[in-house]
Amino acid sequence: MALFSWRRSGAVLKQAETSSRAQVKFDAKGYCLNLPAQPGVYRMLNADGEVIYVGKAVDLKKRVSSYFQKTGLAPRTQLMVSQITGIETTVTRSEAEALLLENNLIKSLKPRFNILFRDDKSYPYIILSGHEFPRLGFYRGLLDKSHQYFGPFPNAGVVRESIQLLQKVFRLRTCEDSVFNNRTRPCLLYQIKRCSGPCVGKISPAEYREDVDGAALFLQGKQSEVIDGIAGKMQQASDRMDYEQAAVLRDQMQALRKIREKQFVDSGKAMDADIVACAGDAESSDRVCVTLAMVRGGRHLGDKSFFPQNADGYQLSSVIEAFLAQHYINRSVPSLIIVDRKIHRELLENLLSEQAGHKVTINQNPIGERRIWLKMASENAQLSLNQMMNRKASQEERLVALQQALNLDGLNRIECFDISHTMGEATVASCVVYDQFAMRNHEYRRFNIKNVTPGDDYAAIRDALSRRYQKIVQGEGRMPDLIMIDGGKGQVNAAKKALDELGIGDANLMGVAKGEGRKPGLEQLIFPERQKPLQLPNNHAALHLIQQIRNEAHRFAIQGHRGRRGKSRMTSSLESISGIGAKRRQCLLGRFGGLKGVQTASIEELAQTEGISRKLAEKIYRELH
Domain ranges of the chain: 20-109, 273-387, 414-565, 576-624
Beta strands in 454-508 (DSSP E): 482-486
* Residue 527 to residues 407, 433, 530, 531, 539, Cα–Cα distance (Å): 13, 20, 5, 8, 21
C-alpha to C-alpha distance for 339 and 321, rounded to whole angstroms: 10
Residue type, 290: V
pLDDT of residue 338: 95
Assign domain 414-565 to a CATH class: alpha beta
| pLDDT tens, position by position, 467-478 | 999 988 887 778
Fold matches, 273-387 and 414-565? yes
In order, the DSSP letters of 238-296 are HHTT-HHHHHHHHHHHHHHHHHHHH-S-B-SS---EEEEEEEE-SS-TT-EEEEEEEEE
pLDDT of residue 548: 93
Superfamily of domain 20-109: GIY-YIG endonuclease (3.40.1440.10)
Least confident of 108-112, 346-350, 490-494, 569-573: 569-573
More confident residue, 131 or 600: 131
CA atoms within 13 A on the CB side of 464: 33
pLDDT of residue 519: 78
C-alpha to C-alpha distance for 74 and 86, rounded to whole angstroms: 20
| pLDDT tens, position by position, 436-465 | 888 998 899 999 998 888 888 999 999 999
Q: What is the mean pLDDT of residues 297-324?
A: 87
Q: What is the mean pLDDT of residues 310-337?
A: 89
| pLDDT tens, position by position, 480-510 | 999 999 999 999 999 999 999 998 888 999 9
Beta strands in 309-399 (DSSP E): 336-339, 361-363
pLDDT of residue 270: 59
Q: What is the mean pLDDT of residues 526-549?
A: 91
Q: What is the mean pLDDT of residues 6-16?
A: 36
pLDDT of residue 20: 42
More confident residue, 575 or 102: 102
- DSSP 8-state code for residue 309: B
What is the share, in percent, of the chain residues with pLDDT greater than 70? 90
- Considering the domain 576-624, what is its CATH architecture? Orthogonal Bundle (1.10)
Angle at 167 between CA 164 and CA 168, to 5 degrees: 90
User: Is residue 275 classed exposed, middle or buried when 0-12, 13-18 and 19+ CB atoms within 10 A define those classes?
Assistant: buried
Assign domain 273-387 to a CATH class: alpha beta
Residue 90 near residue 284, CB atoms below 8 Å: no
Helix (H) or strand (E) holding 619: helix 614-624
C-alpha to C-alpha distance for 149 and 133, rounded to whole angstroms: 16
Q: Return the closest-CA partner of residue 208 out of 190, 182, 220.
A: 190
Helix (H) or strand (E) holding 417: strand 414-422
Mean pLDDT of the chain: 84
What is the DSSP pairing of strand 445-448 with strand 438-439?
unpaired
| pLDDT tens, position by position, 539-597 | 899 999 999 999 999 999 999 888 877 766 555 567 767 778 778 877 887 777 667 77
